[in-house]
Structure formats: structure tokens, C-alpha cells
Amino acid sequence: MLKLIGRRLLYLLPVLLAVSVLTFLVAALLPGDMAEVLLGDQATPETLAALRHDMGLDQPLLVRYFIWLSHVLQGDFGRSFRTGQTVLSAVAERLPISLELMLGAQLIGLSIGIPVAIICAVRQGSWFDRTMTGGAFGMLSVPSFLSAILLIWLFAVQFQILPATGYTPFSEDPWGNLRGFVLPALTLALGEWPVITRVLRSDMIATLQEDFIAMARAKGLKQSRILLVHALKPSSLTLVTVTGINIGRLIGGAVIVETIFAMPGIGRLLVTAIYSRDLMMLQGVVLLVASGFVMLNFIVDLLYATLDPRIRHGRG
């Protein structure tokens, strides 16, 4: 097991390095640079060149990358040139909000997706199955900004039971904090559960054909035990993979959802950094988010071993 973890960790190094190169390139290739934004339209070429020289922007790309990378490796992600705040402290400040949002979305998505998938698999071909697989497909094609607006209209305008926008810190008002997260998390979850359902349903259908399920039936076990213990666990490998990959989709979704619901999370930080050409902030945030994503998928890989003992013992 430890060897497995060690080997997988080794694989992460080139991945993270590639992520840092891409991050840097994307930020560098954005049209317009910090100097232009800082000086505005009135700037003369001379002042621009002077500022660029001060900021090191006139150095070759490769040199700038290695300077940045060496700082990053020492834990220095730089500062926002706008606010002077360090990238790390800005991320630390906003990360809990985005994490709560994504965790909530994932929880709602799983708690809709898993039961629906199980019922669909057991009653394959029934009206419930057909409605839900059709509905899931439809739901996948609804963009999150549209479902966000519909949810706001329904729960905040019509029923007036949930706030439409805004964020309350958990320490101030835990209940208000949770209420504020319901609609954004639900918006993201609406794009999540169809994926979960579709993947788990087909795996469950395959598992239910297995001899060991016939065996479990012959043993006279309760239907709930057959489904949740004997069938769900061997069917969840793909589900776990998809859930891990979906975190990437969630990060992208969070950018939109945080903007619509006015939540000061990582997504908003990113959008602001892009608009203001705050390259240090942008590079830092993207690198940190991407590293987080890679790490999460590393944890997902480890989950396989927990789910399937054959992987744990280095077989199969």
C-alpha cells in the first residue's frame, strides 16, 4: 500500500510541472499586460517600457518562468499588484467558501444521483428509469447560469425561502451561511447528478447480472443489503473516477456560480484577476487550484484500493 502511494506520488511531479508551465503560458499569452492596465490609455511608450523594465516584463519568457517557478518552489506565490495582498493569503481567505460550495454541490449531487441510479438499475426499463435517464440527459444540457436564474426565481422570488445572493461568514451566522449556500450548491449539483446517475446506473446494471448477486439472492439477504453492500461497492469504481474528474467541472462551474450568487470565492478571485490582468494572482491561483485538483484525483486513485481489494493487493 505504501509503495503504491509512493509510486503514484512520483507520477504527480511531472504533472504538476506541466501544470505550472501551462499556467504561466496562459497568463503570459493574455493580450495586454500589467503595465498597460496600471498606466491606462494615456501612457506613452517610454513610460510603459520603463514600468515593464521595473516589473521584469521585458525579460525573455523562459527567464520570467524560472524566476517565478523558483519563488513558487520556495512557497512565494507573489503578490497582487493591485491590492498588495499575497496570493497565498488571498487564496486562503476565499478557499473555504469555494470548498464549502463544491462540497455542498458534490453532496447534493451524490445524494440525488446515487439513489436515482440504484432505482433505475433495479427497475431497468420502467417508466421511472426512462424518465430519469431522459431527464438526466436533458439536465446535462442546461447551462448552469440558466438553472441558477431559474432556481433564484423559484426559491428566492416566488417562495422567498432562500436568499438570492450574498455570503454570510459561518462564524457570524451558521444557519444563514448554510442557507446562502443552498442555491449555489444546488445549481452546481443539477449539472452533477446526471453524470453520477448515468455512470452508476450502467455499472449497477452490469453488476446485478453477476453470479454473486444471484448468490446473495439465494442467501435470502434483504434487498437493501444486496443493493447497498453487494452491488453498490463493486459498481462504484467508475463513479469515484467521475466524481474526481467532476471536481474540475465544479471549479469551472464555481466561477460562474460564484459570480451569479455574489459569493467571494476562488472563482470570483480568478475572474477579477483576469479582468485586471493581475498576472501574479492569476498564475498563483490557477496553479494552486490545478494542484488541488491533481491532489484530489490522487486521493481518488487511493480510494480505488479501498473499494477493490484486488487493486490493494496489486492484482487485477
Partner 1 sequence: MSMLEVENTIVDLPTPRGMLRAVDGVDLTLEAGKTLGVVGESGSGKTMLSRAILQLLPRRAKLSGAIRFDGQDMTRIPAETLRKLRAKSVAVVFQDPMTSLNPVLTIGTQLTETMREHLGVSQSEAISRGIALLAEVGIPSPEQRMGNYPHQLSGGMRQRVAIAIALSCAPKLLIADEPTTALDVTVQAQILDLLAREQRSRHMAMMLITHDLGVVAGRTDEVAVMYAGRVVERAPTRELFHHMRMPYTAALMAALPKLDAPPHTRLPAIGGRPPDPINPPPGCSFAPRCSYADAVCDKAKPPLSAPDRMAHQFACIRPLPVKVAA
Q: Which is nearer to partner 1, 79 or 230 (by Cβ)? A: 230
The alpha-carbon radius of gyration of the chain (Å, integer) is 24
**Binding residue (CB under 8 A) for partner 1 from 229, 262, 295, 299:** 229
Q: Among 229, 132, 246, 250, which residue's Cα sits nearest to residue 185?
A: 250
Closest separation in Å from C-beta 199 to partner 1: 18
**Least distance to partner 1, CB of residue 207, Å:** 10
CB of 120 to partner 1, least distance (A): 15
Q: How far apart are CA 97 and CA 279, in angstroms?
A: 22
Among 26, 92, 146, 215, binds partner 1 (CB under 8 A): 215
Of the candidates 96, 225, 228, 295, which one interacts with partner 1 according to CB under 8 A?
A: 225
Do 159 and 225 touch, CB atoms closer than 8 A?
A: no
130 interacts with partner 1 by CB under 8 A: no
Q: Which residues of 235-249 are buried (b: 16+ CB within 10 A; e: fewer)?
A: bbbebbbbbbebbeb
What does the buried/exposed string (b/e) look like for 20-41 if buried means 16 or more CB atoms within 10 Å of the residue's CB?
A: beebbeebeeeeebbbeebeee
Closest separation in Å from C-beta 210 to partner 1: 6
- Give the largest CA-CA distance in the chain: 85
Interface with partner 1 includes 309 (CB under 8 A)? yes
Residue number, 33 or 210, with CB nearest to partner 1: 210
Instruction: Return the residues of window 278-307 that contact partner 1 according to CB under 8 A.
Output: 307
Within 8 A by CB and 6+ apart from 113, the residues are 192, 193, 194, 195, 196, 197, 200
* By the rule CB under 8 A, 221 interacts with partner 1: yes
Quick one: cell of 262?
455574489
| Choices 53-61, 135-143, 180-188, 219-227; region in contact with partner 1 by CB under 8 A | 219-227
Choice between 53 and 222, CB closer to partner 1: 222
Toward partner 1, which CB reaches closer, 130 or 310?
310
- Interface map 231-270 toward partner 1 (x if CB under 8 A): --xx------------------------------------
Residue with cell 503595465: 35
Q: 49 or 221, CB closer to partner 1?
A: 221
- Binding residues for partner 1 restricted to 26-65, rule: CB under 8 A: none
Among 175, 211, 224, 275, binds partner 1 (CB under 8 A): 211
Least CB distance from residue 137 to partner 1, whole Å?
25
Q: Of 110, 112, 114, 135, which Cα lies nearest the Cα of 200?
A: 114
Under rule CB under 8 A, residue 313 binds partner 1 = yes
Looking at 22, 219, 228, 238, which residue binds partner 1 (CB under 8 A)? Answer: 219
The CA distance from 92 to 110, in Å, is 27
Nearest to 165 by CA among 84, 240, 263: 263
Burial class (CB in 10 A: 0-12, 13-18, 19+), 160: exposed
The answer to whether 214 contacts partner 1 (rule: CB under 8 A) is yes
Residue number with CB closer to partner 1 (53 or 217):
217
- Grid cell at residue 193: 447528478
C-beta pairs of 157-165 under 8 Å, 24+ apart in sequence: 164/261, 165/260, 165/261, 165/262, 165/263
Residues at the contact surface with partner 1, assessed by CB under 8 A: 210-212, 214-222, 225, 229-230, 233-234, 307-310, 313, 315-316
